[in-house]
Structure 1
Amino acid sequence: MIVSVCSDKGAPGVTTLATALGVVWPGPRAVVEADTAGSDLSFRLHPAAADTPLSHLAPDPSIAGLATAARLGLTGAGPLPFAQETSLGVPVVPGVLSAERFRPLRSLWPGLGQALAGWPGTVLADLGRLHPGAPAAPVAQASTAVLLLTRADLEGLFHVRDRVVELAGMVGPGEGDRIRVGVVVTAPVKQRRAAVEQVHQVLASVGSPAPVLGCFVHDPAVAQQLWAGVMTRRLAGSELVRSARSVAESVLATWPSLTATFDATDSSADVHAESTTAPAPAVAP
């Protein structure tokens, strides 16, 4: 199954949200960087067995190999054979390094979306900026849920009103005609309640059924701690990580079919099949 994360304009924090969700998500999961504009995680994250603090992810395996393999069908391990283990404990499939390198792969994206949707685990797909006709649209269309990240400033409120309608039409309804698009607001911690309420009001004004799933706290200083690659107690208890866990719980409650990915055979998972609570991330001693 796929939970896609995207934005309307400028991708404000999409990569950070996708990664933070990967840290707190229960059950088998992988972050897949499907943003066709080029990779960020290749430069931000660190391998699990880094030789130095400055080590970054290797060029391969990457989404190029994953998309190519998806043409013939993935194994039961889904994207994991193409993922790199990171120091945050999250398997990550890094994206292509530039939009130029993506062009030869564009025809593979529809098959990639279908293959990832068939994996019993959860793919947290970073789609970057998304709109109808975007190259990453086939991955969104194969998703169980599409999370639209927006700010609650004048520009963000204006665009989210129209973009939710467009994306809902692009991906179509899900199981039981349930809308597959939900909104996540990003705002500083002191403004989060007001920001969520503003987005609620805007969507209600146009009769949109899209749920507002909560606020992902905007805190660049804490985000830099995330990219440092060590899950300290301070980082695990930060408002940024706590807000990611709250968003994850809202997503699981809104789209219950996602809980089917919590397979008891995954011995490393911190939750059982009956639990929909995202676990606290492991922290460094």
Structure 2
Amino acid sequence: MRKVVALGAFKGAPGVTTLAMALAASWPSESEVRPVVVEADVAGGDLAAQFGLSDMEGLLALAAGAHQGGQEDELGGCVQEVAGGLRVVVAPTGGDQALASVGEVVARPSVLRGGVDDEGTVLLDLGRLGGRPSRGLARGADRLVLVSRGSVEALAHVAARGEWLEGASYELVLVGPCRFSEADIAAALEVSPEQVHKVPWDVRAAAALGGDGQLGRRRWVRSSLTQAASALAHHLDGTGSRSFSRGLGGELAQLRAKVLPERTGSGAGALQELSSTGGAQ
């Protein structure tokens, strides 16, 4: 059966779709089957518009097959290829259609995993983890990747994650500038340092991954975004390892002391307290 890696964010638009595409482009070559990016954002998708694809052949078709109790190999018939050979299942642009489609997939997740003979990885782009359908897919994935900016206020939303995520293991990816070390963030959020990853932003590489322009091979290989995505892809695929320094900065110490104990109670009160201490960047 296919492995499912779900990617989502708690707030804002930190680049979940771009990261999913970067991971697909950088997935270890040892994998015999190229990964598939399945756009399953309940707010609606972007890839169809970006690449000029038909959204009738993507998540809508997959959801229809799930609703009708179709075959477990339904996913393959919903895949379209974009520049660079990336394989995608695009979501409808409209939020109502997207929400209904994700709900059908949640009810029959076997359309993502396939049968016992199906191999490969599904990179599930959930966008913002705001509703039950998204959260159901996140909890049911083999690996969960939470995407965030690296500021204190963004990390506070990760620390104050809801009870629905209690006990779940996840990888935290910080996109763009972040002045804290991976070890500091791990200590503040009480996770293993190996679960924290930084992915620098590269405007040109991100644009190419969104269908806007191209990058030469040398520029692609040297991009900080694609290099970090490659390291993360190997980590998620079980072929990578990382090491970290230790230490804990003052603002992140506040994050651990003030937000985490409140996580099972009122998250809003904890965030207000964090804000009043001047911890936000």
Q: TM-score, normalised by structure 1?
A: 0.71
Letter aligned with residue 124 of structure 1: L
Q: Which string of whole-angstrom CA distances, capped at 9 and with x for unpartnered residues, describes residues 172-221 of structure 1?
A: 65xxxxx3x22111123xx47x35344223213xxx45852411212334
The 1:219/1:114 distance shift into structure 2, 3 A limit, reads: same
Letter aligned with residue 125 of structure 1: L
Query: How far apart are the structure 2 equivalents of 1:62 and 1:154?
Result: 37
Tell me the secondary structure at the aligned position of residue 4 of structure 1. strand
RMSD: 2.4
Query: How far apart are the structure 1 equivalents of 2:93 and 2:13?
Result: 17
Given that residues 4 and 142 in structure 2 are in contact (C-alpha distance below 8 angstroms), is that contact kept between their aligned partners in structure 1? yes
- 2:101 corresponds, among 99, 105, 122, to 105
Structure 2 residue 220 is the aligned partner of structure 1 residue 214: no
Q: Which residue of 2 aligns with 1:117?
A: 113
Letter aligned with residue 176 of structure 2: A
Structure 2 residue 200 is the aligned partner of structure 1 residue 201: no
* Percentage of identical aligned residues: 32
Q: Which residue of 2 aligns with 1:70?
A: 66
The 1:107/1:226 distance shift into structure 2, 3 A limit, reads: closer
Q: How much does 1:147 deviate?
A: 0.1
Query: How far apart are the structure 1 equivalents of 2:96 and 2:58?
Result: 15
Given that residues 204 and 215 in structure 2 are in contact (C-alpha distance below 8 angstroms), is that contact kept between their aligned partners in structure 1? no
The 1:251/1:9 distance shift into structure 2, 3 A limit, reads: same
Moved more, 90-99 or 231-240: 231-240
Q: How much does 1:115 deviate?
A: 2.5
Query: How far apart are the structure 2 equivalents of 1:70 and 1:31?
Result: 18
Given that residues 207 and 213 in structure 2 are in contact (C-alpha distance below 8 angstroms), is that contact kept between their aligned partners in structure 1? no
Matches within 5 A, 1:265-280: 276=239
Query: How far apart are the structure 2 equivalents of 1:57 and 1:202?
Result: 42
Q: Which residue of 2 aligns with 1:224?
A: 207
Q: How much does 1:112 deviate?
A: 4.2
Given that residues 63 and 104 in structure 2 are in contact (C-alpha distance below 8 angstroms), is that contact kept between their aligned partners in structure 1? yes
Matches within 5 A, 1:13-162: 13-26=15-28, 27=31, 28=33, 29-45=35-51, 56-71=52-67, 72-76=69-73, 78-105=74-101, 107-118=103-114, 119-131=118-130, 133-162=131-160
The 1:166/1:217 distance shift into structure 2, 3 A limit, reads: farther
Q: Which residue of 1 aligns with 2:176?
A: 187
Moved more, 15-24 or 154-163: 154-163
Moved over 6 A (4+): none
Query: How far apart are the structure 1 equivalents of 2:192 and 2:182?
Result: 15
Given that residues 113 and 138 in structure 1 are in contact (C-alpha distance below 8 angstroms), is that contact kept between their aligned partners in structure 2? no
| Structure 2 gaps, min length 5 | 241-281
Q: Which string of whole-angstrom CA distances, capped at 9 and with x for unpartnered residues, describes residues 122-169 of structure 1?
A: 1001000114x4332222232101100112212112111122x64533
Query: How far apart are the structure 2 equivalents of 1:123 and 1:25?
Result: 11
Determine which structure has more spread, i.e. the larger CA radius of gyration. 2
Matches within 5 A, 1:1-20: 1-20=3-22
Moved more, 12-21 or 211-220: 211-220
The 1:112/1:89 distance shift into structure 2, 3 A limit, reads: farther
Higher helix share: 2
Q: Which residue of 2 aligns with 1:261?
A: none
Q: How much does 1:22 deviate?
A: 0.9
Q: Which residue of 1 aligns with 2:231?
A: 246
Query: How far apart are the structure 2 equivalents of 1:195 and 1:151?
Result: 13
Given that residues 7 and 16 in structure 2 are in contact (C-alpha distance below 8 angstroms), is that contact kept between their aligned partners in structure 1? yes
Q: How many residues align?
A: 228
Q: How much does 1:97 deviate?
A: 0.9
Tell me the secondary structure at the aligned position of residue 15 of structure 1. helix
Given that residues 27 and 230 in structure 2 are in contact (C-alpha distance below 8 angstroms), is that contact kept between their aligned partners in structure 1? yes
Tell me the secondary structure at the aligned position of residue 88 of structure 1. helix
| Structure 1 gaps, min length 5 | 46-55, 174-178, 254-275, 278-285
